[in-house]
Amino acid sequence: MASLLVWLLVPGCGPRDSSSTLKDVERQIVRGQLREAQEKLESIDAADLAWPAARLQLGRLASKRRDWSAAISYFREVPRDGSASSLAAAQLEAELHMKFCSLTDAATCYEYLVASSPDDTVLKSFLASLLVIGGERTRADRLLMELLVANRISLKDLIMLTQRERQPPETQHLLQCSDYSGSDPLTLYALAAVDAEAGDAESAIRRLRQAVAAHPESLPCQTLLGELLLDTADNQAVLGWMQQVPGSLQETAALWYLRGLLARRSGRTEAATRAMWEAVRQEPLHRRAMFQLGQLLGPVQPEAAAAFQLRADAFLEYSGRMERVLNAAGQDVAGFTLMITILAESGRVAEAAAWLRMDNNRHGRLQLSPLVRQRLDELPQGSMSRCEPAADLTSRFDLSALPLPDWLQQVADLQRSAGGSLVAELNQPVQFADVASIAGLDFTWNSGSTGRPGSIRVFESTGGGVAVLDLDLDGRSDLFFTQGEPWPAGADAPQPSHELNDRLFRSHRGRLKDVTAAAMVDPDESYGQGCCAADFNNDGFPDLYVAAIGRNRLLQNNGDGTFSDVTEQAGLTQSAWTTSCLVLDLNADGHPDLYDVNYLQGESVFRVECGENRCSVLYFDGAPDDVLLADGSGGFRWVPAATPTVTPKGLGIVAVPLPGDSRPALFIANDQVPNFFLLPNSDGTWRDEALPRGLAVNYLGRPTACMGVACGDLNNDGRRDLFVTNFEAEANCLYLQRLDGYFEDAIQGTGLFQPGIPYVGWGTQWLDADNDGDLDLAVANGHVADFGQPGEQYRMPLQLFRNAAGELSLQTAAEAGDVFAAERLGRALAVLDWNQDGARDFVVSCIGSPAMLAENRSAVGGWLRVQLHGTRSARDASAAAAQLTTGQRSVWQFVSAGDGYQCTNERTLHFGLGAQSGLSSLRIDWPGGAVQRLTGIPSDVTLQVVEGRDEVYVRPE
């Protein structure tokens, strides 16, 4: 001990301390003698007590001369020992990393600072934001929960904690990092997420591949990369990703979710269910995995399915409700109360309590239920649990007995599917040409706008409808178009004009002649929307039901080329904004009924003018649909409260008959709110089962802006599948009917996914464009209006997707014709064979530009057209199905009703035969339940089939 004291006391025997030198350096810096200061600081070695302060000062000097790399090196040399120099160096180093977009290194520095100053809420909050931006949600949530438990969480942080899919404001920092070329995983994830959100999946995938090549253990990067690759049709790329994912990540919640998606895509339902259950077991707030479980369990465990689905819906409802509460700036007390209730009832009691403390009794004592109050009162102090154990659905529903997805098996599945070309070779090109002007079709839908340039009223964006009908039964397709009317600004109704009227074109000798004046007894003065051509009175002639803003019109075909307005006689008095409509026997009594798809209502809905980013229909009230049942004598009875009144904002409709019920189900495409799938009750009302049956929302469990609907059997399993168009930045939906009445949005991994994201889709239809027996797809696109902003795309091209061996691929205008190069505000789209040549054509109504008649000029294969005539069923046989067997192959076609967005297709079953010869049989499933089988079927003809008659008739062409 004595020798030690001597060592400490004798000059020169202890550690050196050049603190006085540091004071000299500070004076030199003030005098501008930076080189001398640098030399003195460099002379202080690591054994000196002044070393940390010297390295800190050297870093500051390097920053002054903008030598950023040297500055970071100096700051890093300062020991992380909790000293003042250490904390200052870490802070300065973190700021430089942020400046140069090295988020991972910045996060490391901030984590040290937070550990050294655990009570610094500003630091902890900033670090949490940084981690969220970089995809490290688990690490961020831990910090946010610490703030919450300490009762020191800010409003911004509480929003970030409870709304997992909302990006923090700090995301704006990334704008300076767009050209980043390093390998920092947090930075690359953040930039990739921004790219993906903007629809640039290619750039996002490139960044993420760069990240996982350098940091394969980065779970956020691996997860987002896998998800983006699953969106593509490139199974080879998905296989490559799977083969490089480290084993240590394969049983994380994020990877269980992706493995579940893969298993579901491969048809391994039990393995998919188990994977999603594992994801929720590890991460109880995994909304998308819960949504998938709700769909997967629906047909086999409805109670469990409902529980997981309701939880997923509750989380989604919370997110939307929170946004509305924030926008209301504290005025929405009912919404705020509902937010707290949703969290508490979902087991997120700590978060609910935090919101209650945030309110601090500004609104008095909130009207919370006794159960919610009890849960809040019983919350343990200091609980870090995001979800109370009693609310854990994976404990309530134990699915651990189901088989796990086998990673090697999933690789093998992908190897098989990726073994050949992703899209089979298309033997013959398909070409379409717009022949509207040549054919004599001269029609432009006019919105009647008198508003300011650059703004519209919502109703001006929906466009007009088109119906294909054979008005005189001559075997040729005629066309009916609805028209707008002048509508003065600030007015609640249009101003009738004799210049703008609905138009009827009759097909005769290869031309379309405008016969409106001769055929329509009374001029139309309504603001036209959709239309439906159907035989409402079972007399064999197609009538017209015309949707409008106001009162819809029923036009009876007199059989002599003219129509009579029988709206009054039929008892149609309802007044609403009807977008699309349907004429179909809804209650199986043999008499066609009417269904009105209504959109919006409210005092200001027709007056508000909105710019490009202010037309969300979420701020308007939805209008309930109307059901009108036929009385058998030409009249209709309105059914009160027939359809759901919660969030009805309908745009499109198709009938979807299901086995075991002669009454059809109805799919309603709703705008920005969940879709409806309506099943009939015995009293004439309808219940919505879209959620449990997989049709309410998209593959992410989110409602989208649904508009057009194409209905057909895409995969030849005899069930109707639906393709639904959406708004830009949203993938369209492909609802495959996996089991009778149960659907899956299987848009991921198809050639339909990416091409739809940049566009606003409207009318869409399946059609066999090349007569090979597989359904192709046409889509009409266009923004809600042309707002005239330079550099923005408002007018958009049509799209054609060709089907080869079950793979759909987008055709270019060079491949399919200039009709797909023209950019317009496309709306309703209907399919027909206008020139009777056995090739499918289509017609498109546009806003502000002439309607298009796309004639199919392809060298197509053989064909068969079948027209059905009901006797016991309704005369026009709407909702009938037919199966044609040719050799080893069977193909189903349907007489659809509703036909999607504001339109009616030609009511003819069209079968493409390709090179097939020797048709075996034709089976017809009539709407009333009867099944008819016919043999000895010829090809390249149009057959007339009457219900109950074995004899068929060939229509002369």
The pLDDT value recorded for residue 827 is: 98
pLDDT along the chain (957 residues), means of 10: 40 67 81 82 86 89 92 94 95 95 96 96 96 95 96 95 81 79 93 90 96 98 96 87 94 96 92 98 96 94 96 93 87 92 96 91 79 90 87 96 88 64 56 97 91 81 97 96 92 87 94 93 82 97 97 96 96 96 95 97 88 73 96 96 92 95 96 96 93 94 96 95 96 96 94 94 97 96 86 92 91 96 97 96 98 94 94 92 89 94 97 80 93 91 94 83
The pLDDT value recorded for residue 13 is: 52
**Two tokens, residue 862:** 């053989």
Residue 785 carries which side chain, given as an amino acid letter?
A
DSSP 233-265: S-HHHHHHHHHHS-GGGTTSHHHHHHHHHHHHH
* Beta strands at 593-598 and 576-584: parallel, antiparallel or unpaired: antiparallel
Burial 454-466 (b: 16+ CB within 10 A, else e): ebbbbbbbbbbbb
The pLDDT value recorded for residue 355 is: 95
Which H, E and C letters describe 85-119, residue by residue?
Answer: HHHHHHHHHHHHHHHCCCHHHHHHHHHHHHHHCCC
Q: Measured in Å, how far apart are the chain's first and last C-alpha atoms?
A: 118
Strand partners, 584: 593
Dihedral pair phi/psi, residue 887, rounded to 5° = 65, -120
**Two tokens, residue 818:** 């200039």
| CATH entry, 432-869, from 2.130.10.10, 3.40.640.10, 3.30.70.580, 3.90.78.10 | 2.130.10.10
DSSP 807-836: EEEEPPHHHH-GGGT-EE-EEEEEEE-TT-
Report angle CA 477, 483, 488 to the nearest 5 degrees. Answer: 180
d(CA 334, CA 367): 9
DSSP 510: T
d(CA 628, CA 642): 9
Kindly list the distances between the CA atom of residue 17 and the CA atoms of 4, 11, 44, 50, 532, in Å, as whole numbers in the listed order.
19, 12, 9, 6, 92
Specify the DSSP element, H or E, that contains 338: helix 333-345
The pLDDT value recorded for residue 50 is: 84
Q: For 853-883, how does the pLDDT look when each residue is reduced to its tens digit (9 = 90+)?
A: 999 999 888 999 999 999 999 999 999 999 9
**729 CB-near residues (< 8 Å, 6+ apart):** 197, 198, 199, 757
Strand partners, 419: none
Kindly list the distances between the CA atom of residue 810 and the CA atoms of 230, 615, 733, 759, 772, in Å, as whole numbers in the listed order.
18, 30, 16, 13, 17
**Two tokens, residue 9:** 């006391």
Q: Which of 846, 399, 359, 899 is nearest to 653 (CA)?
A: 899
Report the SS3 class of residue 68: helix
Q: Greatest CA separation found in the chain?
A: 126
Residue indicated by tokens 């097939």: 916
d(CA 442, CA 424): 39
Strand partners, 622: 600
Specify the DSSP element, H or E, that contains 734: strand 733-739
Radius of gyration over every alpha carbon of the chain, rounded to an integer in angstroms: 33
Dihedral pair phi/psi, residue 516, rounded to 5° = -55, -50
Q: Which of 347, 420, 429 is nearest to 383 (CA)?
A: 347
Query: What is the distance of C-alpha 208 from the center of its chain?
Result: 23
* Beta strands at 563-565 and 576-584: parallel, antiparallel or unpaired: unpaired
State the burial class of residue 155 (Cβ atoms within 10 Å of its Cβ: 0-12, 13-18, 19+). exposed
Dihedral pair phi/psi, residue 195, rounded to 5° = -60, -45
**Two tokens, residue 814:** 């060079």
CB atoms within 10 A of CB 82: 11
| Domain boundary assignment for the chain | 39-269, 278-417, 432-869, 881-955
Dihedral pair phi/psi, residue 314, rounded to 5° = -65, -45
Q: Helix 407-417 and helix 253-265: axis angle, to 10°?
A: 40
Specify the DSSP element, H or E, that contains 571: none
d(CA 618, CA 607): 16
d(CA 782, CA 727): 10
Contact 951, 869 (CB under 8 A): no
Contact 109, 92 (CB under 8 A): no
**Two tokens, residue 616:** 């969300």
Residue indicated by tokens 């023209």: 822
Q: Which of 707, 578, 694 is nearest to 643 (CA)?
A: 578
DSSP 360-382: TTTT-S----HHHHHHHHTPPTT
Q: Which of 770, 820, 829, 824 is nearest to 799 (CA)?
A: 820
Dihedral pair phi/psi, residue 330, rounded to 5° = 85, 5
Report the SS3 class of residue 508: strand
Torsion of CA 359, 364, 369, 370, to 10 degrees: 100
CB atoms within 10 A of CB 586: 28
Kindly list the distances between the CA atom of residue 714 and the CA atoms of 233, 384, 699, in Å, as whole numbers in the listed order.
17, 49, 18
**468 CB-near residues (< 8 Å, 6+ apart):** 477, 478, 479, 533, 830, 831, 832, 843, 903, 904, 905, 906, 907
The pLDDT value recorded for residue 448 is: 85
**Two tokens, residue 385:** 């649990």
DSSP 382-439: T---SS-GGG-HHHHS--TTSPPPPHHHHHHHHHHHTSS-SSPPPSS---EEE-HHHH
Q: Which of 710, 653, 711, 699 is nearest to 678 (CA)?
A: 653
Contact 744, 753 (CB under 8 A): no
Q: Which of 258, 256, 225 is nearest to 241 (CA)?
A: 225
